[in-house]
Amino acid sequence: MEYFTLSRKNMADLLHSLNGQHSKTPTMILKEAWSLTNKEELSTLISSGMPSIFEKILKHTKNEIGFSINEIVALGNQIEYTHLSPSAVQNWVKRDIKELVGRPQIGKKYNVDQATMLLIVEDLKSSLDFDSIRKILTLAFNNPEDRSDDIIHPIDLYSAYAFVFEKLHHRPLPPVDGSGPMNEWIEQFIHKECRDILPIFHHLNEDQMNSVLNVLIVSSLSVQAAYYQSAAKRYVYAALFMQEK
């Protein structure tokens, strides 16, 4: 069976759907994600086995879904270029970013917004320390137990930079100006796409727009860093494997 991996755009759509903010159901989004990345029929996936975290999502019938730490880790590890561990995430919620995530909101489980915040932190961790992560995220988020005082919602931030990453990694390459280095072009592309996406946050004032823009750019660059880290690890594993006798 092909590995069932989601792009960040797929995950953003899934999270919106779980929060009742998407026109498509979680089942529809997962089916489309599988069809786009794998040539095998969906029946092959079903007969071979669905990832348990997706089974939980597909079976969910209540109004609000909750996730344990292990389930958030399992969900995150279905995203391309993502490597979460339960022990690390447990440390985050107890110490490193406790004030950003807050207490479990659905019994002993975390809600979709809290799970999204942890996915955002995982992306930022590719290039920032926790002190910097706390400072950059508090530009957009306030009380984790009352999302109404946030400048934007966690899923909206995640969806926005996921869209930028999608254009950079999963869409045809736009014309490239040959006069400058490629790294500079990538950075400029990210800046432009982040600016272009700002109008969806039309309820914000100018200062808030600038804050969101900065968070978006940092998040998008950090995801790009996560991609390079993942690529480097693949080459290391391949090189070491070839040396084994």
Phi first, then psi: give them for residue 33, nearest 5 degrees. Answer: -65, -40
pLDDT at 134: 95
Average pLDDT of span 82-97: 96
Residue with tokens 């794998």: 38
Q: Is the pLDDT of residue 105 over 90?
A: yes
CA gap 27, 14 in Å, rounded? 9
In order of 3, 89, 111, 230, the CA distances from 126 in angstroms are 23, 14, 24, 10
Phi first, then psi: give them for residue 110, nearest 5 degrees. Answer: -95, 145
CA gap 71, 25 in Å, rounded? 20
pLDDT at 177: 65
Looking at the DSSP assignment, which residues form a beta bridge with residue 110?
67
Asked if 173 and 133 touch (Cβ cutoff 8 Å), the reply is: no
Q: Coil, strand, or helix at residue 113? A: helix
Provide the b/e sequence for 9-36 (b: ≥16 CB within 10 Å): bbbbbbbbbbbeebeeebeebbeebbee
175 conformational bin, left if phi > 0, alpha if psi -120 to 50, beta if neither? beta
Average pLDDT of span 69-85: 96
What is the pTM assigned to this prediction?
A: 0.91
CA gap 217, 224 in Å, rounded? 11
pLDDT in tens, 181-209: 888 889 999 999 999 999 999 999 999 99
81 conformational bin, left if phi > 0, alpha if psi -120 to 50, beta if neither? left
For the chain, domain boundaries: 8-243
Residues in the chain: 245
Q: Coil, strand, or helix at residue 9? A: helix
Beta-carbon contacts of residue 82 (< 8 Å; ≥ 6 apart): 76, 119, 122, 123, 226
Return the percentage of the chain with pLDDT > 70, whole number. Answer: 92
Q: Is the pLDDT of residue 1 over 50?
A: no
DSSP tag of 109: B
Asked if 223 and 165 touch (Cβ cutoff 8 Å), the reply is: yes
Q: 242 versus 193: which is more confidently predicted?
A: 193
pLDDT at 47: 59
Average pLDDT of span 10-31: 94
pLDDT at 38: 67
pLDDT in tens, 28-71: 999 888 887 666 566 666 656 788 999 999 988 777 899 999 99
